[in-house]
Amino acid sequence: MSPLLHRRLLPAAIALTIVVNVVAPLSAGDQEREKPEVGVRVPLVTVAKASVKELLRRVPISGTLVSREEALVYPEIGGYKITQLELEVGDRVEKGEVVAELEDRTLRTEVARAEAELSRSQAAAQQARTTVASAEARATQAQQSLDRTRQLQERGTSTQAALDEATATALTAQAELESARSGVAVAEAQLQQAETALKVALDNLDTARIKAPVAGVISARNGQIGATASTTGEPIYTIIRNGEVEAEVEVIETDLGLLSEGDPAQLEVAGVGRVDGTVRLISAQVDRTDRMGTVRIALEQQDGLRPGLYAGGWVTAESRKNLAVPASAVISDASGAYVLHVDGNTVQRLPVKPGLVWQDWREIVSGLDIGDDVIATAGTFFDDGDVIRPVRETMSGLEADQRDTAKTEADLP
């Protein structure tokens, strides 16, 4: 063989030798080589354990702060000018505190007139009582004279004419006594009327000093000094009773039936922040136009709560602890809801009865036990009998699986 031909055939021989040396060991270790292939092809899947969680059902609400109860301050008598207004909007007031005053000159005159009439009636009543006393004395004297005349007439020492005269005198005296007694009744009635008139006049004078009917906070002031007070129209003041402000919110009709009086609520009030409360009152009807129902939320009172502020938040309609899995683990199809249970590394489809959804967790009413593993996400890509490599949701479990994967890949030829 020529040196030239030898140089051309040498690279091909070397290449053939390398191929033979590589292929021969692979043919001899087919069984051992299959294991790493299986480890590489089995998918890594995130799993989670069914565990007990606190689950809530919340109903969204939004509305406005309003006065829980308002008291309107009107004068009890009209037609008199307002001379004084004591309070401003935002001021606190106690029950019975004077908040305004009316011009009272006419009222004081009426009191003086009633007092004079009372004095006259008292004198008339006293005079009537004196008249009765005199009439009683005359009647007694006339009766005694009649008795003596009757005795004399029986003994024959008095005439019938004298008896008749004594009898007439006694009857006249008795009639005068009855008349005097009637006069006392009239005088006492007039006295009582005068006392009542004085009381009314004094009450009217007292009402010139207008007082707060309840304790609370002044929310509106409509009265003006110099204006004529009226018992109708706008009130002089509006008071928020006890300063209590609550939220009047709207709830969609489908959620209204979930709420009950006493349910806890959390609201965010404009300019104030979070305020806790409870459901106090649920409307008995729903608006036909927007299909919303009105709910009153009693709030924990604090500074800054004012009628008119916006409030939005939640009412917790249900709260319970129960078995739950990640919400993404529950799958639904035509046959119902199910999860993919993981037994070792094998997937098993299990029907379940789901319940509340809260913070990415789904309640499992039945179908699972505490500690059961389920595929947390991407469950629709698997079915009964599939083999997977479970990966825990915790960081430590994920790192461990990553280390195992890295070791397996390092062992591959």
Distance CA 69, CA 239 (A): 9
How confident is the prediction for the chain on average, in pLDDT? 83
- Does 47 score more than 70 pLDDT? yes
- Residues of the chain with pLDDT > 90, as a percent, come to 56
pLDDT of residue 27: 38
- Does 340 score more than 50 pLDDT? yes
pLDDT of residue 215: 95
Lowest mean pLDDT among 22-36, 144-158, 364-378: 22-36
Per-residue confidence band for 401, with pLDDT thresholds at 50, 70 and 90:
very low
Lowest mean pLDDT among 113-117, 144-148, 263-267, 405-409: 405-409
- The Cα-based distances of 6 to 2, 9, 12, 16, 287 in angstroms read 6, 5, 11, 16, 103
Distance CA 144, CA 26 (A): 161
Under a CB-based contact definition with an 8 Å cutoff, are residues 65 and 245 in contact?
yes
More confident residue, 102 or 161: 102
- Does 23 score more than 70 pLDDT? no
| CB-CB neighbours of 17 under 10 Å | 10
Under a CB-based contact definition with an 8 Å cutoff, are residues 263 and 317 in contact?
yes
pLDDT of residue 394: 56
Q: What does the pLDDT look like over 305-334, one tens digit per residue?
A: 999 999 999 999 999 999 999 999 999 988
Under a CB-based contact definition with an 8 Å cutoff, are residues 236 and 116 in contact?
no
- Does 29 score more than 60 pLDDT? no
Per-residue confidence band for 140, with pLDDT thresholds at 50, 70 and 90:
confident
79: left (phi over 0), alpha (psi -120 to 50) or beta: left
pLDDT of residue 403: 45
- Does 28 score more than 50 pLDDT? no
Q: Would you give the end-to-end CA distance of the chain in angstroms?
A: 40
pLDDT of residue 8: 41
- Does 180 score more than 90 pLDDT? no
- Does 18 score more than 50 pLDDT? no
Per-residue confidence band for 393, with pLDDT thresholds at 50, 70 and 90:
low
